[in-house]
Amino acid sequence: MPVYSLYPIYRPQFVANAAAKLVLATGAAGNVVPAGYNYKIDVFHVINVTAAPVTLKIWRVPSGGASGNGNIVVPVTVLVPVASQTFPQFDVTSLWGAVLTEGEWIEALAGSASALVAEADGVIVQI
């Protein structure tokens, strides 16, 4: 019988300015969904902590795959605006409700180093 737990999927972390896997909050296997689990992303936010808009690219990579045009979620042409009181974060709604299965990961790329912070919350399902 599956066990469900509400949990941060990705704690706040900088998005690198070279394509890199985001680190899972659980620490299990670092950045790839471990065997025996599914991770459901309920909300995924990106916050721009700089004074200028920054480009963002995100992939949802299948187990054993590699990032590419076939699994892109957010294209590089997306500019994440500067965080403000009226617009505190960029919502990556294309990942809301996504279920990451064993071996999958999220890879991200920012146009500038230490500019974008990614975070996600959701449900961890032990199968």
Domain edges within the chain:
3-126
Which tens digits make up the pLDDT trace of 108-123? 999 999 999 999 999 9
CATH number of 3-126: 2.60.120
- Residue 119's identity, in one-letter code, is E
**Of residues 111, 52, 101, the one with CA closest to residue 81:** 52
Angle at the Cα of 108 (from 104 to 110), degrees rounded to 5?
A: 175
CA distance 65 to 116: 25
* Half-sphere exposure of residue 73: CA atoms within 13 angstroms, side-chain side: 20
pLDDT in tens, 59-90: 999 999 999 999 999 987 799 999 999 889 99
Average pLDDT taken over every residue of the chain: 92
pTM: 0.90
Listed in order, strand segments (DSSP E) in 1-127 are 3-14, 20-21, 37-48, 54-61, 72-80, 90-91, 99-100, 105-110, 116-126
Residue 118 is which amino acid?
Answer: A
In 10 A of CB 43, how many CB atoms?
16
> Residues 44, 22: contact at Cβ < 8 Å?
no
